[in-house]
Structure 1
Amino acid sequence: MSNAIGGVFPVLPTVFDEAGEIDLDGLGNVIEFALACGVDGLVFPGLASEYDMLSLEEREALIGFVGARVAGRANFVVGASGDDVATSIRLATAGAGAGAVAAMVMTPKAIGPDTGLLGAFYSALGRQAVLPLMVQNAPVPMGLGLDTAQLRAVVEATDSIRWVKEENMPCGQRISEMLADPPAHLLGVFGGAGGRYITDELARGAIGTMPAVETPEIHVALMRAHRAGNEEAVRDLYEAVLPILMMQAVFRWRLTKEVLRRRGVIDSAFTRAAGPRFDPGDHAELSRILSRLEPLLGGAAVTSLSAPSVQTATR
């Protein structure tokens, strides 16, 4: 694996059984599914992993599991976000031991938007972590939603920061602003936000995307078309997947897991995190969306696209 990373890096969910316990077999199935779809790398744990619903010990153990299962077949970026340097170092160290190539660390809300304090945080982390860093600039309330000037000040505080994941709106404009005069040590900017703005991000110079993992083969095909300069194919794929991206923006983890469940990858769509739940109308809409997407969903783990039982639907 190389520091020259880029492409499609889905964020893995944490898979639970119906009792809310971690399902390692299910997580392993998601990893194999994503790799079979041709992704360039995987990220864990991130916001889409419900990481704030996991204990620090669970996060460390799962990082080891993911790294061992990926086993160098793709780049692995470890999520090492924490409210203090010690927590992020602990997670980055676990990631390094599991074969990660980078540690993605969200701007800590506990510190706030003071760029001096944030720069000190990442500088201290960079001195002690054994991985290069990626700053995740997520919008409020998940992150601090730094503007480009603030983010640039943080990146310039330490050459340990090699990448940015830009998710603060409008993402595309902020990517252009950062890349207009990038810090010398910055290797590139990833897009996020579930892949909802991927065409704009790539057009503005993003080196990759970090979406959720319900339809990775479509993101892989879109990235392949982008690299080949086939703008028409990029637009066709984006417009095809846009309905499910919009639904994912509302239901977040539940949408990703429900699609993976319907595709036969996992057994349960249980989430620990709170948020909107599907009603019968939502399940019907998802069925319509998946039916239209089916021609683009490759042979990797495509099974039933049916709605769940009433018991699962009302969870």
Structure 2
Amino acid sequence: MKLDNTAKGVFPIAPTPFHADGRVDEASVDRMTDFYLECGSTGMTVLGVMGEAPKLDGTESLALAKQFIKRASSIPVVVGVTAPGFAAMQTLARASMDAGAAGVMIAPPNTLRTDDQIVGYYRQAVEAIGSDIPFVVQDFPQTFSVVMTPGVLRRIIEENSSCVMVKHEDWPGLEKISALRKFEKEGMRRVSILCGNGGMFLDFEVERGADGAMTGYAFPDMLVDIVKLTQAGERDKAHDLFDAHLPLLRYEQQQGTTGLAVRKYVMARRGIIASDAQRKPAGSISATAKAEVEYLLSRVARVDPRAKLSPV
């Protein structure tokens, strides 16, 4: 199945499970994929920023992508192929598509500064990987230091028919979603918009016209519920559930490796992965931080029983 502009729902950004010695934990890869399927994910994204992709070599990246694709055969899998050069991007993109990926995600290098440079980069990326591969523009200025205005995104979309989705992670970014949907009413080709930032603004992003989420959070099943409730018109129920999770979601959004450490800790506590290990260079959370997370979990559990976990 190839990704297209009708994609919606939740595409969790899969972290890469590791053993304590840094080896990829293949058993946890399968367990996590099964969990994503069971909780109603409509797709998956692998080898993203929070998947520790830069810590994998080329062979590992492709092997991991193939494992996810095979295990999640019933839903589309998007593979992050961002690379310093187009040769590596092309190799991973073509190999991933040959293995059954639905599309690829491309983030801009942090050297881009002008609108023309940004648009030109995506034109060259498409020339490199091939216009037959559907791609996602990753708009994440907080990490990549590249600011894409709505007008720039419009140019990328209109110049490249293989652009089928924007992964929207600007912050604040609600007005950008509205602007893109307004462009569509004026004649711009429609693309799917899935949002990131851990779901920090998902409650209003879907109301603004986003099709769902492409992000990570230790409770992706909650993100699935938020999107379904909002699209069903159950606004108060969606916000009540979101509000219950917001303190934990905010805690997980700490910058650098700390946020990933929190996410992996909770996912391990839920039994989704075996260990919270990261590959070095890695971050960790202290005993005090773990106690804070446990306290936040206990508060979420007052509303959402999925957060009620066995004592540590």
C-alpha distance in 2 between matches for 1:143 and 1:68 = 34
Contact 2:44–2:78 (Cα < 8 Å) also in 1: yes
Q: 1:269 to 1:263 in 2, by over 3 A?
A: same
Q: Please list the CA deviations of residues 34-81 of structure 1 after superposition, one character each: whole Å capped at 9, or x if unmatched.
A: 11111111100111101111122211111111101111x222111111
What's 1:283 paired with?
A: 290
C-alpha distance in 2 between matches for 1:211 and 1:18 = 25
**Alignment equivalent of 1:210, drawn from 197, 203, 214:** 214
TM-score (norm 1): 0.88
**Alignment equivalent of 2:201, drawn from 188, 197, 200:** 197
C-alpha distance in 2 between matches for 1:174 and 1:39 = 25
What's 1:241 paired with?
A: 245
The offset of 1:277, in angstroms, is 3.1
Which amino acid in 1 is paired with 2:18?
A: F
Q: 1:152 to 1:274 in 2, by over 3 A?
A: farther
Structure 1 residue 119 and structure 2 residue 119: aligned? Answer: yes
The offset of 1:134, in angstroms, is 0.9
The offset of 1:114, in angstroms, is 3.2
1:19-58 matches, cutoff 5 A: 19-58=21-60
Which amino acid in 2 is paired with 1:83?
A: P
What's 2:304 paired with?
A: 296
The offset of 1:263, in angstroms, is 1.0
Deviates more, 1:99-108 or 1:222-231: 99-108
Q: 1:64 to 1:144 in 2, by over 3 A?
A: same
Contact 2:108–2:144 (Cα < 8 Å) also in 1: no
Contact 2:252–2:259 (Cα < 8 Å) also in 1: yes
C-alpha distance in 1 between matches for 2:143 and 2:267 = 27
Q: How many residues align?
A: 302
Query: Is the partner of 1:194 in helix, strand or coil?
Result: helix
Which amino acid in 2 is paired with 1:285?
A: E
The offset of 1:274, in angstroms, is 5.0
Structure 1 residue 169 and structure 2 residue 171: aligned? Answer: yes
What's 1:148 paired with?
A: 150
TM-score (norm 2): 0.89
Query: Is the partner of 2:136 in helix, strand or coil?
Result: strand
The offset of 1:304, in angstroms, is 4.7
What's 1:226 paired with?
A: 230
Structure 1 residue 265 and structure 2 residue 272: aligned? Answer: yes
C-alpha distance in 1 between matches for 2:259 and 2:77 = 22
RMSD of aligned Cα (Å): 2.1
Deviates more, 1:43-52 or 1:181-190: 181-190
The offset of 1:137, in angstroms, is 0.8
C-alpha distance in 2 between matches for 1:176 and 1:160 = 22
The offset of 1:177, in angstroms, is 1.7
Q: Please list the CA deviations of residues 75-95 of structure 1 after superposition, one character each: whole Å capped at 9, or x if unmatched.
A: 211111122222222222132
Q: 1:284 to 1:228 in 2, by over 3 A?
A: same
Which amino acid in 2 is paired with 1:296?
A: D
Q: 1:253 to 1:288 in 2, by over 3 A?
A: same
Q: Please list the CA deviations of residues 91-141 of structure 1 after superposition, one character each: whole Å capped at 9, or x if unmatched.
A: 22132123222211111224x133333333322333443421110011244
C-alpha distance in 2 between matches for 1:172 and 1:49 = 25
Which amino acid in 2 is paired with 1:198?
A: L
The offset of 1:174, in angstroms, is 1.4
